[in-house]
Amino acid sequence: MGRSKFTSNRAGVPARLIACLLASSAAGCSVGPDYHPPQAHLPSNWHALAPDPARVSGGASAAHASEGPAMVVDSDPDPRWWRSFHDSTLDALIDQARAGNLDLKQAVLRIVEARTQMQSTAAQGLPNLRATASYQREQLGLKGLLQSNGVYSGVDRLGAPDSPLNAIAPGSGPVLQQRANDTLGQLTSPINLWQAGFDASWELDLFGRVRRSVEAASADVDAARESRNDALLSLEAEVAQTYLQLRGAQASRDIAERLANDARDTLALTKSQAAVGLASTLDVKQAAAALAQAEANIAPFDGQIAQAANGLALLIGAEPGALDAQLMQHAPLPELPPRVAIGLPSTLARRRPDIRQAEAQLHAATATVGVAVAQFYPDITLTGQIGTRATNASDLARWSHLFYSFGPAVSLPIFEGGALVANLHMADARQAEAALAYRRAVLVALRDVDNALAVYRSDLTHRDALATAVDTQRSAFDLAKERYAKGFVSFLTVLDAQQQLSQVQAQFVQAQTQVATDLVALYKALGGGWESAA
């Protein structure tokens, strides 16, 4: 009775051991530092919007020093900021770029790769079960061993006439000899060994090595997603800027054509004046040269228009010329929105994808420190094997051929030549590097917004001054032509006024285009435009 109880207790030890290990795995801790989101430490207001005594009087904000969109800080930027230009062609181009841009598609595939890697990492913490089957034909080499030990000689003596067995039982020696030879023949003949079964193993993640690896892989997915968002934001800004540059080149070409028409009218007037003796041949030649120069100024804008159209085609993932039907019809530059919501600096960290990406990379680096720490602790693995083994395939289904084995295995690092310590120091350094990269990303974002606001404000002032100059110079040119027609001034006065008007009009269109692209750069720096597609 006591022996039966002892046997029963021994049989229950592996089961209790496995139950304890499973419970420990379920409640296992994760070594290494836990991740806590960093503090961005952003200012309370934008530096570029601070009052500037050198430019603003009476305490007015510098943001209102020029006639342009009002800067609003009490609301976040519009995620679809390009719609504020109210240009349906621009809206369609951005939609096309979102759907067809090849760089953006590559960024999406990198997200898929990161997710797949995370799934592969998570699989390390799950049980591993494999089905196995094998066949072997074996020759054990027993015949030589038996011969060297005199077994065959002894068997031969069994059948000898002087064998003691014949004296005991006549004729029994040859019978036993034959049976022994048959048995030796079976033992020394090649055999077939069939085996089928299952192997299982499960690494108990007692110290969180797998959990920390999954945490790091999940953060890598977040980083890949934010990289895609950053690529989308850059794509939208590049499409908008290229489109605005195309419309600006078209507007410049239209002005160049109007100036060529003015030069043509001036030449006609000069010829009529020369016909009645009120102008010289030199005046006619100068007027003709001015017309040729004005016509020559048109051609470069055609190249700029073609380059911008081809650039937009590439951004949407199409071949050159694919957008000609859509874009070659000239259209004016879009009007600026009456107000621009820029939000407060405190909201910048959650809008800028590059900051979010840096935070995800810091999270991954922190989790990697935990992986390096866990490598100092033992690995415990449950392994098991069950199946059947037989010399005939038909016997594999018989319960009597069953075999199995199971139990835990422990691996504890004792001496690794300093490799584990070096890995931990490397992980710590990468975490510190990622923390600095996050801080730098925040500072770069603040710099980008501040620069964009400053450039936008100064270019607005420049554009407004040029607008006044265009009006003044147009009046001067019209007055010069009128006085020349009456013979009060020379043709050089008209030619000089025409050239100055040409220059200031071209500068004004360039300033208009620059202000519009500055606004796009501001929207990009503020980090909006990816939320609706995230």
Residue type present at position 439: R
The beta strand positions in 70-229, using DSSP E, are: 70-72, 128-138, 191-204
Residues 263 and 310 in one domain: yes
Mark whether 369 and 412 lie in a shared domain. Answer: yes
Say what the pLDDT of residue 60 is: 37
Contact partners, residue 507, CB within 8 Å, separation at least 6? 466, 469
Pairing of strands 339-341, 70-72: parallel
CATH number at residue 362: 1.20.1600.10
* CB 246 within 8 Å of CB 68: no
Same structural domain for residues 359 and 427? yes
34 found inside a domain: no
Confirm whether 139 is domain-assigned: no
Whole-structure pTM value: 0.79
pLDDT at 185: 73
User: Residue 517 has what pLDDT?
Assistant: 95
Same domain as 395, residue 322: yes
- The total domain count for the chain is 2
131 DSSP β-pair partners: 198
Write the burial class of residue 353 (CB in 10 Å: 0-12 exposed, 13-18 middle, 19+ buried). Answer: buried
Is the same domain home to 179 and 215? Answer: no
State whether 402 and 434 are in the same domain.
yes
- In terms of residue numbers, what domain contains 250? 72-125+207-334+345-527
Identify the pLDDT of residue 76. 83
Specify if 522 maps to a domain.
Answer: yes
In a domain, 399, yes or no: yes
Is there a single domain that holds both residue 459 and residue 511? Answer: yes
DSSP state of 74: S
**What pLDDT, on a 0 to 100 scale, did the predictor assign at position 172?**
66
Confirm whether 57 is domain-assigned: no
Q: Both 158 and 234 in a single domain?
A: no
- Quick one: pLDDT at residue 52? 55
Same domain, 292 and 173: no
d(CA 225, CA 222): 5
All residues at 6 or more sequence positions from 27 whose CB lies less than 8 Å from its CB, including other chains: none
Contact assessment for residue 445 and residue 525, using Cβ atoms and an 8 Å cutoff = yes
368 in any annotated domain: yes
Q: Are 160 and 105 members of one domain?
A: no
Residue 108 domain-assigned (yes or no): yes
* Whether residues 88 and 154 fall in one domain: no
Residues 175, 288 within the same domain: no
Quick one: 19 exposed, middle or buried, by C-beta within 10 A (0-12, 13-18, 19+)? exposed
Query: Mean pLDDT of residues grouped by 10 in the chain (534 residues)?
Result: 40 47 56 90 82 46 50 82 93 94 92 92 88 86 76 70 62 70 76 89 88 94 94 94 95 88 84 82 87 89 93 94 90 89 88 94 95 91 91 86 90 87 94 96 94 92 92 91 82 82 89 94 88 60
